[in-house]
Chain A
């Protein structure tokens, strides 16, 4: 038997009850409780097999389907977050239903044929992929943009993308999406993580953005970024000598164990040069020689995330050329966004985040440091690259350093939100900073210059890239 906790709600009052239940799914546990404890817990369910989406709820803070998720000792079950609770685990889905009307969630065309249409197999496949949604609303419940703005949430964007891909639909779906705050999504991928149908919702959103920019529906701030790229091949403007201008091409390590090419990214090159120097020092200290190709350009993430595919493609082509045929084991990034893009958009196999490569080559004995730190997971590292343990292992191996873990949450900087939707970005950033500050730490460590910049702006704490911390202890 396992002890589980259930948050109940009725007539404005809420309280937590605990029950002992046998192993099995949460749905089975709820049925067991009602049967054996006269509990009358209200919950929704239907198919018992992950097909209907009725039974989504929150388990230890995460959206789950009760019919799939297994009972574990000590879990707390709550109603799906982000919705008004009607009773116990039943939430009011009206806000979602209303949005469906707003986005005109139905096929729109002038003429409907009387006979079966010939439709290209590929179109069917593409549309089907986006129609898998079972409307459990898990993605809405955990979306930082929906929580903090008038953004409808991922599955509604998915619905619009589905119509946009359907050759039969004649409505201007990207326009609807744009005015439903398409650009509020930070591309944090939380929706993708919680989607029981494994739909790539962010891909759908980026697809809509690529359509909307073609119709001149974009944010002016993103045009500034685009212009920077066209001018400097960097997403930010050049204000002084860059990192690449200053450094040598090659830094050989003593007792070389590995050779890597350093992909700096825009911010390290133009704004956070120290992070660049720290990276070289840290890599060398671990026996890793560093080669720095001087012709490298922006990874294209800012363009891909905001819908300027054509600009992005040129950058991708250039970088692929620059990093081709190098005599190195890996390409190393210190920016979650760059790493994510090189791995998932370029589809390069030899890309590693700095934390991966250090763990692979073997951590060295670090000097003690008296510091209390926490780690902020960059979304594009955690969900984009599935890297969670590596940075934690590094932090935990530093003597005297006190590591306080924190639950991952988006800081609001990604997806073009920091540049394009300043207000929203700030609200999300402030909330995240507050959570991290409440841990009572001295320093926030992360592996993403965007997170770093953004958290610095919204918090009183020091924020460091993990390489800058390591620089102090090697």
Chain B
């Protein structure tokens, strides 16, 4: 297959990018069903955008940078906050409809924000965004959809990307799609952990296949654990629960956030709340591996309407959150790190663009709730525009690409290796880290990697799992190596052997071809704020 623009990933960022390229030949290649296999459709809480005259870009910018431990790329943050309102208006043009209060857009408070800035559609905000993007894309017949395919390798020659090789998940065939420009919108790698809020498709494919071809990845140690997943399951309990007034209690009925962030309490940033919950549980003040999240003091109608998804998801588990508390614990949620991009969503590989969670640098060391949906739209649009211009000015090149044969007749069960990797990551590279654990994890990861040639592959599903395991292993190594390198604690990255945040570490870890470089962040916040 050949096309002008190839978009890998069909979540919020990929779909938004496609709209920008509508007048070219576009293929959106998705690992599952279009719109259904990314995180966007599951996103509940909201979309941060400055609309209120009392709010400002400056405040949104500062909140984001502060939440991100001051290592965000300020240019990207500025783009995010300035474009978020515009892209929300675009979404409504595409058919979305956000909740209104007396006719004007409704906004709720979210963690780490100095203003009620989070726009929403009940607790199905991401679903509203995806369904509207899908509706709008219906209009453009040059945008082709390819579902049930997994990208296993980027086609790169002399630092230039010409598309990707795919695995057809229905018949096991490998095939190339050659493209003038390629957009990676594959999301993160929540599936690196056994407890995650992410859908099953999120196996770090984009990180890995780009890294394999020499892409630069930034801040890969920054993995956000959402404070509130359903205990033991990981399925997300939206931050909107706390935004609407939900309270956290330990087994003694103590509102323990008082001890961790007296001022912001439950609406502190995600890194702080997640660590607080984790500590409560580890130190024996939890309940069956979780803590209580209680919303039962709120009026029934608020719970039923604004938190309908959460209400129903717990009802299915036999818990009526109008009357009783939920049991929650942290869950692997978002990769702040990812492909290093510039203001045009360009990566260091020519013709390869990245947007959404697969791109890094926007959220620094910790992402604010409500900034991810805005990110998908703002950077989806930019990546789309850039890829379009690139495709219009560059020629297609088609050449044979060799894919290494896989030994399918080994002895090992691939699923067991996957489980093993996930458990190693959970136990050693999750909320609280140290040098010893990270070194141990790295050693174990390499061990699993050495076993890859000895797996037994019976069919296509196994084959898919094989490639996913490979990508997860690559991602795991990047996370471990970056986490080992950063000898401080900042945002989501907490080293118990280096618990302080240190000024000399205010910077970004960039990893490329197994080489790490550290780049100090140069900008002065006060100076930068004067721009607004």
Contact across chains for B136 and A51 when beta carbons are under 8 A apart:
no
CA distance A276 to B105 in the complex (A): 57
Contact across chains for A54 and B36 when beta carbons are under 8 A apart:
yes
Selected contact of A48 from candidates B88, B104, B235, CB within 8 Å: B235
Interface residue B423 (Cβ < 8 Å from any Cβ of A): no
CA distance A93 to B36 in the complex (A): 13
Which chain B residues border A36 with CB–CB below 8 Å? 415
Contact across chains for B461 and A42 when beta carbons are under 8 A apart:
yes
Which chain B residues border A48 with CB–CB below 8 Å? 199-200, 235
Nearest-neighbour CB distance to chain B for A67, whole angstroms, equals: 10
By beta carbon, the residue of chain A nearest B458 is A38
B44-69, CB under 8 A of A: which get 1 and which 0? 00000001000000000000000000
Contact across chains for A40 and B92 when beta carbons are under 8 A apart:
no
Which chain B residues border A44 with CB–CB below 8 Å? 32-33, 148
Nearest-neighbour CB distance to chain B for A100, whole angstroms, equals: 6
Interface residues of B in 83-124 (CB under 8 A from A): 85, 88-89, 92-95, 97-105, 121-122, 124
Nearest-neighbour CB distance to chain B for A127, whole angstroms, equals: 5
Chain A contact residues (Cβ within 8 angstroms of B): what range?
A: 35 or more
Contact across chains for A107 and B136 when beta carbons are under 8 A apart:
yes
CA distance A86 to B460 in the complex (A): 14
Contact across chains for A106 and B138 when beta carbons are under 8 A apart:
yes
Contact across chains for B460 and A124 when beta carbons are under 8 A apart:
no
Nearest-neighbour CB distance to chain B for A44, whole angstroms, equals: 6
Nearest-neighbour CB distance to chain B for A375, whole angstroms, equals: 31
Which chain A residues border B42 with CB–CB below 8 Å? 47, 49, 51-52
Interface residues of A in 410-425 (CB under 8 A from B): none
Which chain A residues border B93 with CB–CB below 8 Å? 107, 112
CA distance A114 to B85 in the complex (A): 11
CA distance A265 to B127 in the complex (A): 44
Q: How many residues of B contact A (CB 8 A)?
A: 56
Which chain A residues border B201 with CB–CB below 8 Å? 46
A116-B135 in contact given A38-B458, A128-B121 (Cβ < 8 Å) = no
Contact across chains for A105 and B138 when beta carbons are under 8 A apart:
yes
CA distance A133 to B136 in the complex (A): 16
CA distance A107 to B102 in the complex (A): 23
Interface residue B456 (Cβ < 8 Å from any Cβ of A): yes
Interface residue B131 (Cβ < 8 Å from any Cβ of A): yes
Selected contact of B102 from candidates A45, A90, A121, A131, CB within 8 Å: A121
Contact across chains for B461 and A166 when beta carbons are under 8 A apart:
no
Chain A binding site: helix, strand, loop or mixed by DSSP?
loop
CA distance A104 to B136 in the complex (A): 10
CA distance A93 to B148 in the complex (A): 12
Selected contact of B199 from candidates A34, A47, A114, A135, CB within 8 Å: A47
Contact across chains for B104 and A40 when beta carbons are under 8 A apart:
no
Which chain B residues border A127 with CB–CB below 8 Å? 97
Interface residue A35 (Cβ < 8 Å from any Cβ of B): yes
Nearest-neighbour CB distance to chain A for B144, whole angstroms, equals: 12
Nearest-neighbour CB distance to chain A for B189, whole angstroms, equals: 16
Contact across chains for B170 and A54 when beta carbons are under 8 A apart:
no
Interface residue B316 (Cβ < 8 Å from any Cβ of A): yes
Selected contact of B138 from candidates A101, A112, A113, CB within 8 Å: A101
Nearest-neighbour CB distance to chain B for A336, whole angstroms, equals: 29
Interface residue B462 (Cβ < 8 Å from any Cβ of A): yes
Contact across chains for B100 and A47 when beta carbons are under 8 A apart:
no
Contact across chains for B235 and A68 when beta carbons are under 8 A apart:
no
Contact across chains for B235 and A49 when beta carbons are under 8 A apart:
yes
A122-153, CB under 8 A of B: which get 1 and which 0? 00100110011111000000000000000000
Interface residue A438 (Cβ < 8 Å from any Cβ of B): no
Interface residue B266 (Cβ < 8 Å from any Cβ of A): no
Interface residue B37 (Cβ < 8 Å from any Cβ of A): yes
By beta carbon, the residue of chain B nearest A86 is B170
A106-B37 in contact given A40-B459, A49-B235, A86-B170 (Cβ < 8 Å) = no
7 A-B Cβ contacts within 8 A?
A38-B456, A48-B235, A51-B309, A100-B138, A112-B93, A119-B100, A131-B128
Partner-A contacts on B (CB < 8 A):
32-33, 36-37, 41-42, 51, 85, 88-89, 92-95, 97-105, 121-122, 124, 127-128, 131, 135-136, 138-139, 145, 148, 169-171, 199-201, 235-236, 309, 312-313, 316, 413, 415-416, 456, 458-462
The 4 A-B residue pairs whose C-beta atoms are closest, nearest first, are A40-B459, A35-B415, A107-B95, A52-B36
Beyond A50-B312, A124-B100, 6 extra complex contacts between A and B, CB < 8 Å: A44-B33, A46-B32, A46-B199, A106-B139, A124-B98, A131-B97
